[in-house]
Structure formats: structure tokens, C-alpha cells
Structure 1
Amino acid sequence: MVLFDNEKICQDKTSITSKHQAIMITKFEENLPKHAVRFQFPLRLAWACTIHKVQGLTTDTAVVSLKNIFAAGMSYVALSRVTSMAGLTIKDFDEKNIYCNEQICKALKQMPLYLTVKDRTIQQNEMVILVHNIQGLIPHINDIRSNSDISSANFVCLTETWLEKETVPSLEGFNFLHRDRYSSYPSKKDVFQQLKSKKHGGVGIYIRNNQHCCPLTLDSVNMECLVIYIKEINSNLVLVYRTETYPSSVFLDELYEVLISLPQENSNTSTIVLGDFNQDLLKKNSSIQQFMTKQGFVQIVSHPTTDGDTLIDHVYLHGNLQVSVEIIQTYYSYHNMVSLHIKLPKFVNQQRFHVVAEKVQGTKVKDDDYMRIGRPITYTWKNEFLNAGATIENYKLYLGSFPGGYDILTIQDDIPGTSTGYNMSRISLIPGIRYYSNVIAYNYAGAHTTSTSDGFIVDQMDPSAGIVYDGLGILDIEYQNSTNNVAAHWHGFIDTESGIQSYHWCVGETTHVHRIYSNSECSVHPWTNVGLHVSASKNLSIEILQGRKIYNKVYAIDGVGRRSSIVVSDGVIIDITSPIPEKFIIATELFGNNTSFENTGGEEINFENVSATDICMVSNSFHPLSWIPAPLTCLAVVSSDVNLAKDGQSHLPISDSFGANKEGFIQFDSVKHIFLIYTKPYRHDGSGDSREKISWHAHTFYFSAISSHANITIGSIDKTTGIFLDDLSVQEVNFTTSATSGHVLGHVVYLHEWSSIHGSWSFTDPESPIVDYTWAIGYSEGGTQIQPFRSVGLMNFAVNNNVTLVHNTYIYVTAIATNAVGLRGVSYSDPILVDLTPPDIKYVNDGAGTDEDAWEFNEVTANWAVEDPESGILLCQWAIGYQPGGNDLLPYTVVTTATVYKEFPYSVLSGYTIYTTLTCENHAGLSSVMSSDGVKISNQPPSVAAAVVETLPLSITEYNPRDSYQGVTDNIRLKWTGFVDNIGVERYKVFYKDSGTAEVMFFADVQDILYAHFTKMSLSVGSNNISVQAINKLFKSSSQVTSYSTVDISSPKVDTTKTLTIDWMNNKVVVSWDNIFTSDNDLFYEVSSGSTQGGVNIIQWQETRQTSITFGFPSSIPVTTGLPVHVTVTAISVSGFSAVKTGSFKLP
């Protein structure tokens, strides 16, 4: 707890108790200027610190909460306080709370490179040589480029360049001489091979452009070194790098070989040996320094050259050069840079630069950089040397391939010191090489200096021709829409010697060029010198004719006046006309073999079995002829008895379970198009409200044939599901430009909730080709309310299947063609009516009027009524078959009338129900289908081959008469069946006897067995015949089928004088009644017996045709002596009348 000296501080937050130990915080008071006093309380929290409070703090462990980070860098400050990852615990981690200030990032990117600029003035009469261990040139090249000490030096000697052999990092204003480590040790000795295998190393020298020096080759030396001779100070410069692993004794042997190999221009030639020797001269006993001292060299660096205060970068000097040394610190290397300032001879005029010049003899040009071969040359050096007439004894003139060189030619003459030039002719020089004139001036004391020209090149090659493009920009245009402007650009003209000095350009109407360039055809624009411009344009005062082709022509002239050949462009055509719209004329002739898949190898798969058939396993006989399946393709022709398409036969009622895929493709040779298949059923195509059948999709594609034959490929995009195809037609399309309207064809496809708009067009342009088509859809010509203009490339048709159509509105398809010159042609479709409803078929009747169900003529007649008040009827087709929608008898045929008929043989009509189907399509492409309810056709009466007529027995007693008998005379019941007629029996006629009395009767068609009950009749006793005749719907009568019935109303007669004979034999009762009952017809008997009068507990209603019966007792009746047995015998006639006789006895 902290106790402040002011009791009011935190009075409401704390309470002092005896349990707390208070620590008094002492107030420190410090008087500051400006009469301000600062009070500081060195308060340190006991358990936590804010992130701002811990800045600069270091701790071994810490728990850091990143929950309330509100400033950039806070997270970094907190997390970097601990000395190890193990001591850091992070709470409330959220990577979003770790971020830096964007302004800092922006400032770092904008911060310029650090330039080591010093207030040092380079004396005009001194040469600066720098030596520096760069420790990798590639990573530090930008540091070197930004170092002003290096940029102002004459020579920059670098060790440890770490470069490969072919690597040349550029430094503006300098040439680079380099030797890598691998190339520095040619010997096969182990010691050198080991050095050769090590990485890094290497030496290099940046030589300021046109510096007077030449490199010396020492191929046999095994050392990383470079040697150059500097003419201006008459000195050899040796750059050396020795790695620490290079044995010093071996190194000194190789260094000795270098020193004795150095050329001596004269007795005043000096030598400078410098580099990184990896021996610290601040320590005693340096073997290298001792060796160099013996060779007459003096080491002139006295201060440390590294950050480790070691002096391992040495400079050894032999000769009379006046040299001052400076150590320059660098931030990018462990080594500091050693700067040598060497004074030059005073008689060289340093205020003039390269005044040694060459020119073609006799010309007024001060200095020629390029010359033609064989021309006489004058070399001049006027004002190059100070007070030359008094101080220079003579000059020596050399011609070399590098500044200061003398490898090409040495002029043996001693040129007097008063001369300022020298003429030379008939000198043989190689074209393409830069030659340098080197003048050495000797004073009377023998001292000399060298001055070098900027060089010249002998040019005997004509410039190489390039390529000429029509138009400005970067591309070659083939067409232009201006008649009074010409333009061209070119590149690729090359002259590696004297360079291109100017271009000449003209424009003509032909490609003709002449060996005399001025005689070339340039009728549009004459030859014009455009200097070094690589493009040119000109507004003409004349108009170039439409459709004319013009050609740009260019040649180049180099620095010595040589000309390239004339290059002619491929020409540009003048086109100021827009593309012209064309109208489609579609021919009716169909191309291709079996495009609707009607012909097969002999077999087809029935549609009802398609889901149960693996079409990948069927034979080739199921394939459509002329179609070749691709590898791994399953293919088969599927047929159906139901037709939903417009043409042909065997079109399929696609159901959603079979048509699952959504994309297919069609390819005409190499051109491929994708089409969509909408799998939701459409409810207005003749299927009523059915959602189980999918409508056929109509797609139209346009292809441009490039030969007389082409392959059509069609298939499914999805490899796992298939598509149904039919009615594929290939038709020729011709074009005409004479039509004034209808250049764009458009139509609408509407399938349930999915709709699409299709457009096709054609343009022609006799001058420039069409490069792009765009199309739009709207409610007026040029309108874009439905779809804005969209590019379709070079396709002359397009589909938009993502539109919502409004019924009974007109839309327009607008097409724009853009040709190669940017001119546009516009074409519009005729108004396209959006009709989302199919034709309304009111009815399809069999017959010529109201609907008929049958007739006897061998023709099929039908009539119908159909209308489409929006887009109108495009066409109707009718078909005849044995089922609704069938086309077994007549394929779908276009019909133009509302009543039609067709004759057929009776053999294909009789016995069938014939259906007429009508399908109509409106101008919107929607169709409806309706079939009649069917008609039956026959010229035959009903058949009686299986007809049966029966009378049902009637009686007034409880006994039923036998067959063909009845016991009543006032009514009769009939039953008949088996009358057959193809068109159906409409009525029946019943006849009584032969008198002709008849009754006509109607029955429902569904009845197979028919009954009739006639009452209030007067039947005669005896035989009566009843006949039935069937009459069909065409009123044709069958023959009569007759049934006979006998009426008998008499009862059997009983002989009262006779009694029943009853006997007991073998525990059974034997009863007989012979001759008791008599009748004119057959009788049958009913016998009952009981233990009481009228009882039936022994037997009941036992029927028999015999006149006796034997029966036993049931187990329920005990057989006892004296048991009375009563017997009742009833005689029943065939007409149901009866008579009774009774008898009894007792058991013995």
C-alpha cells in the first residue's frame, strides 16, 4: 500500500487499517528554468504496468495482455520486453492488435538512398584510384552507385566481388574488368585446386570511360589479380586479393612471377600493387611487406582499414609518383575504402577533354566518329597540350583498339612538337571496330603523357532493313477510316557501325520500288526526311479513294551516308463505309445423313424399357446409321409409340427421372457451342397440367463452312448422364443485302418458368473485316431495357437465357457490327411478339361435324377448332394412330384446313379405336396437342358366333322349374350374352314366337351379360320360342339367336288307391312309390321322414328322380322297436307343380 503526503489523495478508495503497512512516498523537487517546478513521485506498481510504462524495460518473464491495444506499435513494445520466448505468456491474443503505423511504412518507401557526399574538391591535375574490399558486389551495387567518392574516381579496384565469370554489374560511366576466383587458378596442383573450389573471392576494376589504359593478360599466374597499364601516369596497376588460406610462401612465389612479368614502357614506368592481403601490418613480422620491401616497394597506408582496427588492405608503390592516401569509411562493408590521389604531369591541358580528333581529310567536320573505308584520315591534337610549341620536343602517334593502345598501328615518324596534326591514307582497317588515336607528347626532359581520342569506327555496311507498320501506335493496322491522312511507324533498322542518322518515308498505291530511290512509286506522298523519328503522319490535300490500298515505304541512312534497302509495309485499305446488314434466306433442303436418327442398324430400345436397359452394353445394331460414337460413349436409338415432336416418328415423352442433365454441346468441325436443357416440365405442350413430362428444347446454331464436308459432333457435357436428341436438321443459309428490314432474326423460347431470347444476324463489309458483334434487347429499336449491349465476338447469333418475359409485349433485338476501322453498322429485328401461351385447341372431333363414335366407311375424318389471338397459328399437323397421340397410321402431316379425311383399308381399321391427334404451333414457338376421343369403323353386323340366349325358369310354387320350363303364362325372364361388335352394340331386339312381336331394348356398354323380364304376357301351354337380335351403333342387325321354353301349369296326378311301400331291411328303411304319381312330363321327387307326422328329424327334402329310396337313422335317434317312422313323398313336375303321398310304419 502507498501512503501519499496529502491525506485527500484516494481518500474515497482506500482505508488504513492495522493490517496494512503503509510506505511513505518521498517527494522529489527539482527547480527548472522558466520558473517551473516539477514534482515526481517514483511510484512503481506492484503487480502490473501499462505498455507505455515499460518502454526500455527488459525482463526475464512477463505476462502480456493484448486486449486493449489502441495505438500502432504497442504490441511490439510489450512483446519485446522479455529476453526469451520461454518467458513470454500472452493473454487475449488477437493478431489484429499487432500493427504498425502506415505513415512510417510510407515514409520508409519514400526515403532516398543515403549518399556519401563529402565536401571534397577533386583536383583537375590528379587521378583518383580507390581500392575496397566490397564483400559481395551484387548485394552492394546500389550502395556503390550512390557513393559520390566512387562516382568521381578514375579507377575503382574491388576485392571479394563474389561474382561468377559472366556476371557484369553495370556502373554508369565506367567499364568493368573482372576475374573470378575459379578462373584465377589454372594450375592442377592441389593447393590451387583447393583455393579454386572455395566460394566467393574474385577481383574487379571499374575503369572510367575513355580512360587511357590497357589490360595485361597473365594467364599462367595462380592468383586472384588484375593488371592494367595506365598511360596517363605511365604506371602498371596490380590489384591482388589473397585469402587467409593461401599459404604465404606459395603466394609470394606467384606474386614474384607477376612483378617480373610487368612491361616497362620506359625507365620512368612506375608500379602500384594494392589489394586485400589478409596480413595485418600493424603487427610485426609481415612476410608480404618484407618481400615487397626487398623488391623496392614502399607500403604507403599507415592507418587501419577495417572495423577491427587492422591494416590488411595494402598499397605498395615503386617509382616516382606523387601519391596521397585517405581512408574513407563505408557502412556496407567490414573494410574501409582506401583512396589514392596521384598528381598528373602539369603539361597536360586538363581543361580540354578528348581534343585528339579524327576526320575525313579535306572536310570541315571537326571530329568524325565514323568513316567509310578507304577514305584518307587527318589526326589533330590542337590545344591538347599546354604551351606545346615551347615544351614538347616531339610526338608519337599510335592507333589502338582501346584507349592508350598501340596494337593496331605505330607511326614510326617522330612528329615535331610544333605540329598539331598528321595525315594518313591507304590504311587498312577492319569495319565495325572502334579505333583510338593515341598521341604521346615528350618534353625535353624525357617526361611524357598520353592523350587519346574518343575513337572512330570504319563503316562499310549498309544499314540493316527493319519492318514498317501501317498507322501509328504499336500495332500494324490493315484498315483505316480516313481518306486524307497517312501514317506509319517502323522499327528494326540497325546500323552497328555509324548508326542511323535519318529515315526517309513516302506513301504509294503500289509496292513498286526502284534501285534509284527517287524513282520509286510514291504517288500518295513523296519522299520525306523525318530525321530520327520512328513514326510519321501527314494530312493530305487530296482524298484517297474508298477501298484503295496504300503502302508506306521507308529507308534509313547511316552516319556515313549509306542507305538501307527500301522496306514496304503490307498496306492499309481505306474503308469509310460501315458494315452492311444482310438478311437470312434459309433453304428448305436438308443436308446430312440420318440427322433425325430414323435409321438404325436394325434394333431400337422401347422407351418403356429405357430405364432398365444399359445402353453402354448394347450392340452396334442399336446405333443410328451414319453416326459414330466416340470412345467411352454410350449410344442407342430409343423409340416410343407416343409422339410429342413436330416431325417424324419415335419421339420420346421425356420424363424428369430420365432427363436429369442440364448441358449439352454441338460441334461443327472445330467450332463448339454449349446449350442448356431446362429440366422442369412445361405444362402447356399438350400434357395439360402434368409435371412428369419434360418439353423438347429447340436450339438453333449457325456455322460457317470452310469446306464441302464437315463433321457434326453432339453430346452431353456431363459424362455421367445422357440427353435425348431428335429432329436435328442442317440447312443452308443464304444472304441478301437487298432487303430493307428483317435483317435480325429473333425468337423467344418459353418453357415453364424458364425463358430465353435468341437472336441471329449477318453483316458484310467488302473492304475491312468485321471484328466484333454486340447485341441488345429492348422494347424498341436500339432499346436496352431487357439486356444492354453485350459483345459476342464474331458469333453471328446469341442467346440470353436469364430474362423475364412479359406476355403479349413486343421486343426488338438490335445487333451492331464493328469493322476493323471502328465503323459500326446497326440492324434491328422486326417486332418480336412475346407470346407465353400456346395455341388454344377448342376441340378435336371425329367426323365432319359433331363428334361421332363410329361409322362404316373406310376413312378417318376429323374436324377441329383452334385459335391463338396473340401471335397466331404458324402451322398445324395431324396424325392418326391407335392411341391418343399415336401416329401408327399417319405420321404428323402439315394441314391447312379445319376438316380432314384419310382413307385406309378395312383391315387396319376394323377392330380398333382410331384416334386423330392435332398439334399446333404458334409464331412464338409454343405448341399444343389434343387428341379426339376415338372412333370405331366397321361395315360388319354384330357377330353371333358366341351368342347365347336363355330363358330363366319361373314358377308360382316354391319349387323352381327345370331348364326351358316354366309354370306361369303371364311373364317370362331372358338372359343373353356373346353378341360381339367392333364398334359396339347399341341396342337389342327381342322377338316372341314367329308372330313378329318384338321389343327393342338398350343396355349400358359395360354390361357383358344382359337380362330382361317381360310381364303381362299370354303364353300358351306347351313350347314357346324367344329370339334376340343385336343392333350396333351403325344400325346393322345381327341374325336372331333363339331360345325355347315350355309352359306347363299341370300338377302330377296321385293314385289314391295305392300306398307307399315301406320296409325295414338291414337296419335301413326302404320306401318305394311305383305307379303312384303320373305326369305328361318328367317328375322328380322330394322325400322327408320323421318320428312324428310331418317330422323331418330322420331325413329332410331328399331329392331323387328314382321311385324308391333307402335311408338310415341318424345317430341322434335311437333305433328301438316300435319307433314310429313317418314318410312324406312329394312329386314335382318340370314346371314346379307338386303332389304329396304319405305313409308310416313302426320298427320291428
Structure 2
Amino acid sequence: MDEFKQLGSAGSSVISGYQWSLQHDGANIVQWTELKLDSSNSTKSISLPWPLKSTKCIRFAIRCFNKAGLSTVDSRELRDCSAYDPKLISNPNVMDAIGPVKLEKNDQWTVDDVDYSNSSARLAAVWPQLRYLNYEWAVLAASGTGGSGYYDRILLEPPKRPTSHANAIAGGFTRDEFVNVPGVQLQPGTRYHVCIHANETLLQFEKFTQLLPELSECSDGVTVLGDVATEGRIAVNGRFANQMLSSVTEFLLEWSGFESGTSTDMPHVTDIKYYEYCIGSFASGCDLIDWKNVGGARSVIVTQLKGVLQEGHVYFVSVRAVDFIGRESRSKPRSIRVVLHGPKSNHSAAISVGLRHVISNSNGQEVCWNGRFSDPVAGIRRYWVGLGSSPGRPDVIPYTESDGECVWWTTKQLSYSRDGQHYWVLLRAENFAGLISSDHSKPVLVDRSPPVAGSVIDIDPTVSNSTDCNFRFNMDGISAKWTDFHDPHSHVRDYSVAIGSCPGCQDVMPYLHVGVRHSIKIDHLRLQPGQRYFVNVKGCNAGDLCSVASSDGVILDSTPPLNGIILIGSSDANQQYLRSSSSLEFLLYGFNDPESDIAYHRWGVGREESDSPDVIAWIKTFERTFVRHSGSLPTGMRLKVFVETVNKAGLTTLTESSKFLIDDTPPEIETALSASETFGQIEPNWLVLDDIMVVKWSVFDKESGIKEHWISLSNHDNGRVTFEPVKIPGLLSNFTFSDLDLKDGANYTVHLVSCNLADACTRQTASVAVDTSPPITGHVAAETESAVQLGRHIEDGLRWDGNEVNISWVGFHDPHSGIDRYTVQMGTTWFGSELLSVTEVPHSDEGVGLPLNPHEGPIQMASFELKRSLTEGTSFIVHIVAVNKAGLHSQPVQAALSVLESGHLWLLRRCAGAATCYGHCSCAPQHQTCRGTECRAVDVVDNVDNEIEVLDVSAFGPRGESQTDAKTTPTRSLLAATWRVRRAMGRPPVRYEVSAGLAEYNEPKGIYDAVHERVWHDVGLRTFLALNITAGRRLNVFRSYKVFVRAWFDHNTHVVFSSDGVLVNPTFPRVNRHYGVGVKDLLSPDSRRDTDFITSTDSLTVGWRNKFTSLNEAPPLSFRVSIGSEIGMDDVANVLMPPGNFTYTFNELQLEPGNGTFLP
């Protein structure tokens, strides 16, 4: 690599590195790879990526880079490709060919192996040196895994079954030493190999035999080229347009676009083999320099042009590209013109800068040089113009490009120049050959500054040594004086004076020239009181640049200030109540004096009946809009603020605020926050539904009333907010949380913040638990003869003695609220109570013992005194129901007990028959029946026994006491009802069963699946039921449902009664927000137009027609109409109105004149 070393001792220091590659037919067959050399060694061993074969003439190439990024390539043959004896490069066994081909047996093949083809449908190969009898052949697409398109992995490991190879696109068998591949579609840019395989073959000759070993071999491949390369583009010295040259010795020639659009699988990025260029004196001619080959390079520095090119002449450059199969594509000739001199400067054409070469325009400056430069040969391409402090330095405005002969310098560009200094305009002109000529102007003076303005003061001529005055009562004239006008570059030439109603205006008197005087008095002017007048003085320098100074004006004022409004508090609205007794804030709004302005205020605080401040004495302040004062104020009395306003002429005005009260106490709690017992509760603070919660409270504030509440709901167990805080009017004392998804067993906390008009607040919380599921039914704790010992029996757990019995049970439990109590009744019939009426037994968490299964809970036991004594050998039925802490009842458990002589009670597990016609029996599996008999169902119309009335209710009182009948319900998870004897006509019921369904049916349908679920529920003689909808279901919105009560008058006769139905409506009344619809203050009940002012202080009419609507045409149940001193309050009056009314007139009111009232 010594060829790359530079001349001189610094030769090695300019070389930055080397790269190596392998080349064939002028192109790389591997990528350029970095070659690291020691500084003292130019020899390096290189490991090739594959074993070399002697079938191609391969050259080893070295590329050397200097530190400027330029490179030179040199290459050598790895083997002497021209050697003949011995011949070092020979044809491969399998050669690619351009088909179709024909080769007779033992015939000689004289065509060289081909590497490229322009046909995408033809492919052929020959192997004339082989003598096998049968061949398996296949065409394989290059896998791209060998590191080169020439030496693919296929060549390194030829397949033994080429037709089965994954890359095979065609194949077959032949006995010939050639193959023409039929019907293939070859992809341009891809290299294909023909691979053959022959089994071991024994050839029989006349005098000898020859054993040919098994053979697998592939051709080195042929690359399918696409279309002929497109016509390229030529750039001369980096420009694709027709170019001019400023050198006759060399220029840079570049080209691009000679591409076929085919992406090959070889390391070189194009299918172009080499490029050539030529130069001619006419288009497409090559008479000056004939075609020169530059290899695969895309640029060349054309040299050795001395004596070939002449100035002013036009020449033409052409480039052509030749691909690997000899096709060529030629560019359009690019013309070049030789230009050796730059533009000429014409000094007779002036460089104009303003007037008399003075830059005086403060908004910018135009500079022109029309006709200063010319170039008849190459023409002027562009100009550069700058400004400098000397003829050769653009240190003020750097050179900027211009296409024309004028340029505008902005104020920002000229900001680096200095007034009073001389500068030069610097010009450069460039022709289309890139040659530049320079020139400059004569010195230019910069003077853009007018004189420095002085100060003008208004004076009172009646006062000696008068200083500046702002207000005058003398209407005769105007007097003024001025000082301190000066010019740093020249002098102030003269002054002019004008008088106007604004600074700089001359609407009272135009400018009057006064020479070099410094004071003036002008009389006999028409002046108006309250108007401010300004004296304007203009001073001009020798450059006719002027400055104006104005006085601050003088006002003629004879009127006091205008009254404003005092707004108590720090907001834009007047506050009647304040929370703090230690500070006071108020706003001054509208106080003004249009003539002399406000000088200051004096303020104080007095009692409601006072005429002057008697709580806080007068305090002087210069605050114009907001006053804050720290000090003690009395509470419990009405106060007001006095403000005395003083203008700059000394005149005053007194203003009083509206009355206000200091209320530093928060609202008081009258009734603590709690869940309303009127909805969804059987027991206090336990909800038996999961989608609605109604809470109630009562707070009051006798001083300032309740303005608003903030209410929210959160889960006490995990702290998550279930219902985000919302603001509601202060007149409300209840709130409904809707569309909830409450969880059984969870505790929820309601947060309520109540604030009065003084913004003092009271906070309270209430806890509500949820349990919508009844307890799980247990068993009588009886001894068993089964092999399985459950351990439920305890000593004396089931025992009798006369009319006293001990009963024990186990297994009743509730995972959410726990068991609160049990109800027990005993009789000889189903739900009979002739032995023991319904008796409540409290639940004991300790019980009297534990069963073997701890999940059944503690064993409960109670002693009862029966209505009569028991007799041995008889039996009776005990009924047990568990009630959880939420008030929900479990399904009853019935057990038949036999009275034994020993004093024990024995559980009968077999019974003679059913206790009712529907097959109810104590020996059946829990909640199942035995075989029944025919029942007698009596229609309500034919009923001769007691008539039952069923009421839909929203909640229960203590122990299930009912309310009035409900027509709608907002919950979709609960139906509740109570029932009672409406009319006693015959026998009373002996027990009840309850169910529910859609109101359009006369039997329970629409809720329960009669095939898989129990439709009727036993309740004994209980007359209320909270029927929870099964989890995962919900009652349909805007559908009516009934509760059905089946009253049994004996064991075979029953009558089904039902409620009149309840409509499920979980929606709130909607507010109609259409234009013209609203809550309106009316002058009379017949009026339809809203009014803002009334004359009466004892009556007020309000209307709300069409303001409230409801979904499904369900009207609101009532309207609450209130009058308050603030929005959301009812501290003046309120009334509850039934539906159908849309106006109401309040009478006997005591409204305060001047104050606004609000209708929430």
C-alpha cells in the first residue's frame, strides 16, 4: 500500500484509514470493510468470508481515505487471470447460459459463463464436462446468507436434493448435460443458481469401467437485470442548470438518475457497470474530449482542459451509463459557458442614500445603486450590500443578498449605527459564473435624532415663583414655561407653542412660533370648566428634526365628586353578613370626579341609626377601589360604612353603605344528619336496598340563615368516594343519592357541610350500613341416629316438662349485618300458634355451645312457657325465623318434635303426610315440599272470609309498622309492602305467603323464574315484607309492579290479594332550559312576563309553568316555592304546593325596599 503514501515527511499524517473489498467485472462482490493497520506496518492478513474458487477473475481492492474525506481505489488480481500454462482461471462445472441452448453428447461448449441476464422468463445452464447418466436439477433463488450475491450459502453447501430445497422455484430430471428452464417468472434484481445432483455412477466402456462419485454442484449464478437505466441528470460544479465556468483548467462533473429501478441482491447498489463522459463544441458532440471511462464513480473532476476551453464560448458535456450486459443510457447534453472576469463597476452611476448622503429617517433607509455594475458576457446574478465604518469592513450591517438594485434597511438593522458618525455603503456584484466585483459609496452621515425634549410646566401667573399647578379657578388664560431642550449634535433652532385638550393636540390653539423664548402667557381663550388643557412646546434643530414636550395639564374645576357604591366584602357582590369580627373589607365602586379626579377618601363605621361614624372613627385612605382594615367590630347589631370622598380641588361628597351584620358563629345543628327512616329502612341506620339512599338533617342560623350545603358519600371501609361532593341550596333539609351500587356489609359515611351567608360552615357526618340479603336459614339442634355425628345436640337442648319446653337451634347466620333476634312459634298445624304465639328471642353471640362445624355458629337455646301442657306420645311443630340487624327475615325452618316419656323432644324425620294441600311438611328437605293434595283457590270476588288490603310502601317503622300507600318508587332493587284486614267478613287468615310481579298480570310474573326459583315466600302471620330483587337483576324503569299476598284461611283454602301497583321511576324531574321558560316574578297570577321590579312590599307572585318535566309523562308530586334574600334560601317565606299548580301569590310579606329577593 505504499502507492497511497503522500510525498514528504507528513505523508502518513494525512491518511485517515483504509477499506478493502473483492471485485469482479468492475463491481464489489462484498461490502467495503474497514482495514486496521499499525502506523509502522503496511502488511495485513485478511480472512475471506468463503473459500475462493478458480472460476472467476477476482480482484482485491484497497480504498484509502485522507482526512478531507476523499478516497482513491487500487486493486490487484488475486490470481493471474491471463495465465495460460498452467491456466489458473477455468470455467465451473455448471455454467449459466442465455437460453435456449442445445448441447449434443460429448460436444464442446465454447460460450463463457454468464453473470447477468435481461430476461425474466428464460434461464439455462450447461455442464459439458460431466458424463453422468441422470441428473436432478433445480433453480434456486439466492438465500442472501453467504455474504455476497456471488458466493451464496448455496455454493458453499450444494443441496443433494435440489428439487426439495426451500428456495427452489423450478426443477426436474434430465439425462442431458444442459437444461432450458421452462415457464419461470424471475424477479429482476435477484440472483439465481442452477444446482444439479448425480448419484454415484459406474460407466461401462469397451476395455474398462469408470466409477463416478456422487456429485452435488451449483452454478455461480446469474443476476436478472430489469429495464434499461433511465436517462440521468448532469450537474456542473454542483448545479443542474446550464452553468458558467470561471476556470479553463478544471471543473467538477456529477451525475445522478442512471437507475433501472431494480434492487439487486449484490453489495453494489446499482446495476450500472461503468460511466463515461465526453465534451464537445456542439450538442451531443464529443470532438474536444472523447468518451472517458470513470468506472462506477458518480462524479469526476475534469482536468487537463488548458488550451481546450476559451472564454465566452459555449461547450456541451454528456454522460452515459453502461450496465453489465452492455446496454447504455445517455444523458441530455449540459451546456457550459466559460467566463473569467467579474462585473464591471461604473463610477458615473451614484450610490444614493437619502438626501445629501444623510441617513435621517428613523423608520429605515432605502439605498440604491442603479447602473453601478454591468456584465455583458455573464450577466448579473445577484448583489450583496452592507454598511461599514470603513470602506472595507461591513461591521455595522453585514452583507445581505439582493436581487435588485435597491434595498431597504430597517430600523433594527440601522440600530448599530451611531448618530453623528460617518459610514460607507459597501457593494458586491456576482455574475452567473460566480465571479464577484466590489465597490463602495462616499461617506454617509447618520443623524436620526431630534433634539432632546425638555419639560413644560403649567404656572399660575398670579403666584410668584409658581410651581407646576394642576387645578385653577382662573378662567382668563393659560401660562407655561419650559426648560432643558438641547441637541447633542447641533443646537435648538427655535420653538413653537400650541394648546389642546390632550398632550400634543392643538384643538384650542394651533402652533404659534415664539422664537427662542422659554415662557408664554396667552389670554382671551375660550376655556370650559372641568376640561384639562395641555401646553405643547415643539423645539426643532438645524436638521429640521423636531421634538415635542407637553405639560401634565391644568383643569378648571368647580363641582364636587360623584357618589359611588360601597360593596361590603371582598367580592363583586354586596354582602349583608360578614364572618370575621376582627377585620373589615369593602369595595369602592363608581366613585369619580371627571374634572379634577379623586384626591383621597375618609371612611368610618357606624351603627344602623347613626348619621356619622360612632364605631370606627374617620380614617384617611388613598386606596381607590379596595379597603381592608384590621380591628374589632361588634357582633349582633346592624352596621354601615360611611365614605367621604375629596377631589383634588378640595370639594367633598358623603356616601353610606347598605347595612351589614357580623356573624362569627357557624350554623347550629337542630337535627343531626341521618339516613331517612321514610325510605329503605326497617331498622335505624340499616339500608335494605343498594341503589338509593335518602338522608335528612336540620340546621339553622338565626343571624344569617343557611346559604348552601355540600354533600357527598364515601365508603367508610376503603375511603373511596361513592358520590362526589355536590352543592345544594340551603333551603333543603334532605337529599337523595341515586344510581348507586352499594355493597352488602359495607359501611358508608355521608358528609354534610352547611354554610351560612357569612361563609361560616358546620360539618357533620352520618354512618349508614347496607344489607339487602336476608339471613341464611339454620336447623333445629337435634340429636341424630345417623352415622355422621354433627355435634349439634346439647344437654337439655330439646326437653319438655309440663307446659315448659327448651328449644335449641343452630346455623342461622348473616355475613353482612349479623343476627339480631329470632321469632319462635309452636303449634300442631303448619304455622300454628295454639301452643306458643310468635315470641322474639334475642340472639346470643356466645350461645350455649358450639357444634363440630364452627361455621354454623354458636348453638342458641331458649325456654318457653306454652299455653297448655304437653302429653307424651304427641307431637307439635316449631317454627323459627331469624331476623338480621337490618330487619330482614330469613326463610322459616319448621321442625316436627315428638314428646317422649323421658322428658326429651325427638326430631321427627318422617311424617305421615303433608301439612298443607301444596305439600308443605316438616320432614321434607329444607324449602322443599312433600306430595300435596288439591287446593281450593278462591277468587277475590267470591271471597267470604276477611278481606285483606295490600299497600305498597317505601319504608317501615319500628318492627314493620307501615306507612301510607305509595304510587311510585325510585329504587329498582326493592319492593316493600304491608297488609291489613280491610273488612272482617268471616274467618281470619291462619298464615300468609307473599310474592311480586308485573302489575299487568293477576299472578306473580316478570320477576321470578317459576321453574328454578321459589315464587311464594312464607311469612307466617307477619304483615310486612321487604322483597329484595336477586343480585344481578333490576326492576324495569317506568314499569308498574304489584305485591301479591296469598292469605290461607285453612290448610286447603286461600285467596290471593294484591296491591294496586307501584311505578318504578328512578329519575328526577327535569329542568326545562329552553329560552323563555323559567321561574318568573310576576306582577299578577295572569301575567306571563318576568319582572325585575315591584312596588308592593307585602305580596309577590311567582310562576313556573313548563319549567319542570318528567320522563314517561310522570308529573312531579309537589312543588316547594320559597322566597329568600339569597339564591337557594327560604328565609323570607316558603310553601309546599300540590301538582297541577303553576303560580302562587305570597301575601303578608315584609319586603325591604331596595333589596333584591330571590325565588329558589
TM superposition score normalised by structure 2: 0.33
